[in-house]
Amino acid sequence: MRLVLDTATMVAAIRSDAGASRRLLRGALDRRFTLLASVALLIEYESVLTRQDHRSASGLSVDDVQKLLDTVASVIEPVSLDYAWRPQLADPDDDMVLDAAINGRADAIVTFNIRDFREGAARFGIRIVSPGNAVRMMKESQ
């Protein structure tokens, strides 16, 4: 199973240790599925996860976030953006996630923002799933 996690899913993973997003992050780190990301998406993760409000809610320092992202970078399958399919979606940050999914041949994008991704991703045969549904998919694929 090949997944791209949008930034909000990564934020939820650090802010709640009991949620589906955290289980997905752990699954990615345990290589229970193939996590895909482009350089641009990793930079976006860093930019958002190091914000003070997210660090305060998670109890993580900037150094902790950097170490986590280094670990994430060590397990991802890097996606080279051979072609940018923009614009497909209303939000340019969402287009960045979709570009990684298209170029990485993802099975699905994991997001809380299903409505805004659905139409654009469908054009490329990519499923849009919530973190909870992605956890179920991960368990079924084992």
> What DSSP assignment string belongs to 41-97?
HHHHHHHHHTSHHHHHHHT--HHHHHHHHHHHHHHSEEE--SS---SSSSSHHHHHH
Whether pTM > 0.95 for this model: the answer is: no
Question: Using one digit for the tens of pLDDT, what is the confidence trace for 16-71?
Answer: 999 999 999 999 999 999 999 999 999 999 999 999 999 999 999 999 999 999 99
What's residue 117's pLDDT?
85
What CA–CA distance (Å, rounded) separates 135 from 141?
10
Q: How far apart are CA 63 and CA 140, in angstroms?
A: 35
Give residue 89's pLDDT.
64
Domain ranges of the chain: 2-141
Per-residue model confidence as pLDDT tens digits over 65-112: 999 999 999 999 999 987 666 666 666 678 899 999 999 999 999 999
What CATH number has the domain spanning 2-141? Answer: 3.40.50.1010
- Measured CA to CA in angstroms, residue 126 lies from 24, 56, 103 at distances of 18, 34, 11
Give Cα 48 distance to the centre of its chain: 12
| pLDDT value at residue 118 | 85
